[in-house]
Amino acid sequence: MTVDPTALGYVRRDISGPQQAWDETQIRSLAKRLGYDLVKTIIFDADSEYRLDQLETAVKINNAEAVITPTLDHLDGAADPLVKFCDVITLRPENTYARWAFPKAQADG
């Protein structure tokens, strides 16, 4: 039996606005199509403190291979902080920002 790689969804409520439910549905659909086990979707507001730090912690705790988000705007416009730990996949446009191959000492520091 094979186990699908784990993914997390990530949505900023203030950016999705009234289409939040649609964004969450699209995240689930894309995860399934790409062969990921979507374990949860994390939802924050703009005023949530340390939201990207908390997302990074969730990636590590869940041993996630990817984070799926509607757009890079939900990640403050950049995939860079997360690709040290996992792939970042966006719905619009559909794109994968692959994990960087850092030496372990550099990724931990």
1 occurs within a structural domain: no
pLDDT tens digits along 22-69: 999 999 999 999 999 999 999 999 999 999 999 999 999 999 999 999
Structure-token match 């689930």, residue found? 28
For 59, how many CA atoms within 13 A lie in the half-sphere containing its CB? 21
pLDDT at 7 over 90: yes
Tell me the C-alpha distance between 36 and 39, whole Å: 9
pTM of the complete model beyond 0.85: yes
Q: Which helix (H) or strand (E) holds 14?
A: helix 13-16
pLDDT tens digits along 58-100: 999 999 999 999 999 999 999 998 999 999 999 999 999 999 7
If we measure between CA atoms, which residue out of 24, 32, 27 comes closest to residue 68? 27
Looking at residue 100, which CATH number applies to its domain? 3.40.50.2300
Domain total in the chain: 1
94 occurs within a structural domain: yes
Note down the domain range covering 23: 6-108
